[in-house]
Amino acid sequence: MAAKPAPPSPYPYYTEPFDLKDRPARFLKAFAAILQNTNYGPVLDAFARISLHCGRCAETCQVHQATNATPDNPCNRSNLLLKVYRRYFTMSGMLKARLGFGWNLSDADIDEMAEAYYRCTACRRCRTVCPVGIDHGLVTHIARWVLAEIGIVPKALVLAVREQLEGKSGNTSGIPAPALKDTLEFLEQEFVDNYGVKVPFPVDADGAEHVFFPAVSDYLLEPDVLMGVAGVMHASGGSWTIGTGYFDGINYGLFYSDRMLSRIVRKELAEVKRLHGKKILIGECGHASRVAREFGPIFGGGPTEAPPVVNIMEYTYDAFRRGALKLKKGVIPERTTYHDPCNIVRSGWIVEQPREILKHICADFVEMTPNRKDNYCCGGGSGTVSIDEMRAFRTGTQGLRKAKQIRETGATLVVSPCANCKKQIREVCEDNGLKNVRVVGLHDLVLKAIEFPESSRVKKEGPAPAGA
């Protein structure tokens, strides 16, 4: 049977059918409910009062650099929501309206927001230069939630979250637990066949120190990353497990609704509790790491209640530094560069750890310019990477700067330790003529460099050597 055509959408992304009736009134009702029940009121109040329109944010935004268009100017974009706030939720706005100087929110205003807030990748690079401290990424976050409450949200994000919270599989890739177990057994066999070592993927181990949550799509698409992680945990003697109750680090709630965000975080915390784990270990995924670390304590009863969060790159670097993990030097001969995922680098959390590892295992490591906290977004941030119908814009506009950065390094290997960034940068390379560039995870390369302990070597079966 032919697939049903996607429902018509006035936006560059597909949506599920939504109610067109009384949208401005419903938008304002949702906005009011959010302001009343969350902590965003004081934030928007301050931002609405002091936006100076100096243009620095626009200079730093890779989307605006590519288009030089008004809707992509972060200050303008934020102002779409802030002007609604000023008009309907401040005394002066209401007074002006009473005196006849107001304006009324229209369907056209909502459509403008619906488009603009999904052209932003919420990478928060602009925040690092705003002289008055406005976080345009936070404004995008709030605006998307208000829009979602009136049904305007990319279908790709809704489908993923629905499967994760209400679907049979309980994860964004729809992987049933038995399939997960099969995959892990297959990967264990790969270790034996390709590396001659026995490396376990512990499943549902009670009381493990680390409960592991990668971007679940890694189980389908990134076997080498997972083998790298397992190799590190095994070689360093780490205690870890994968829970079959829940095993997805992805949280697309971050990109459109705090309600979904909180439900997904709580699901992750519940799995750690079920397994009596001590820490959350997040795989190579930027937003999954940020969500667990930043929001785990909020939705998990406070910093003393919620388990600490470790990113796998932190773990690997620490094991390497302590000498618990031996890595061969210079085993990667190709010129290699590193992409900083926004969600873990802007806060200064994961900056040098992967670089120290790469400088050791790569013979020719080069930096992109700019890098670290100033690095450009891959162009697929804030969930836009999963909106396939936006691919031309994602790779041609949002990802143009990243393509230029990669080209300038001359690297043929791009290390991108984030599932979303990996997918986006692969597509960016495909669509921007970087055919000889391969995009990998950090643990793809670590896997090739691990010196496994002799005890894990698998003895080859066969006839006993003569004279034995």
Pick the closer one to another protein by CB: 43 or 203: 43
**Closer to another protein at the Cβ: 125 or 355?**
125
Q: Judged by CB, which is closer to another protein: 89, or 320?
A: 89
Residue with smaller CB distance to another protein, 152 or 450: 152
Is residue 44 within 8 A of residue 93, CB to CB? The reply is no
Beta carbon of residue 162, minimum distance to another protein (angstroms, whole number): 4
SS3 call for 213: strand
Minimum CB distance to another protein smaller for 257 or for 397: 257
C-beta of 299 vs 393, nearer to another protein:
299
Smallest distance, another protein to C-beta of residue 271, A: 19
Cα→Cα distances 335→359, 406, 410, 412, 435, Å: 11, 11, 7, 6, 15
Question: Least distance in Å: CB of 312 to another protein?
Answer: 23
- Tell me how far, at minimum, the Cβ of 253 lies from another protein, in Å: 8
- The residue (of 13 and 299) whose beta carbon lies closer to another protein is 299
Helix, coil or strand: residue 15? strand
Minimum distance from residue 214 beta carbon to another protein (Å): 23
Q: Which is nearer to another protein, 70 or 106 (CB)?
A: 70
Which residues have CB under 8 Å from 117's CB, separation 6+? 77, 80, 140, 143, 144, 147
DSSP states along 272-323: HHHTT-SEEEE-S-HHHHHIIIIIHHHHTTSTTTSPPEEEHHHHHHHHHHHT
For residue 228, give the nearest of 440, 455, 372, 454 by alpha carbon: 440
Binding site for another protein (CB under 8 A): 29-30, 33-34, 36-43, 45-47, 49-56, 58-60, 64-65, 68, 70, 73, 75-76, 92, 127-135, 138, 149, 158, 161-162, 165-166, 257-263, 294-295, 297-303, 347-348, 370, 374
43 three-state secondary structure: helix
Measured CA distances, 269 to 181, 245, 255, 305, 422 (Å) = 21, 11, 20, 10, 26
Please state the closest distance from residue 72 (CB atom) to another protein, in A: 9
Interatomic CA distance for residues 457 and 389, integer angstroms: 47
Closest separation in Å from C-beta 299 to another protein = 6
Other Cβ atoms within 10 Å of 375 Cβ, number: 23
Distance CA 376, CA 367 (A): 13
List Cβ neighbours of 416 (8 Å cut-off, separation of 6 or more): 339, 341, 378, 422, 425, 439, 440, 441
Return the DSSP state at 52. -
The number of helices, as runs of H, and strands, as runs of E, in the chain is: 22, 8
The CB-of-135 to another protein minimum distance in angstroms stands at 4
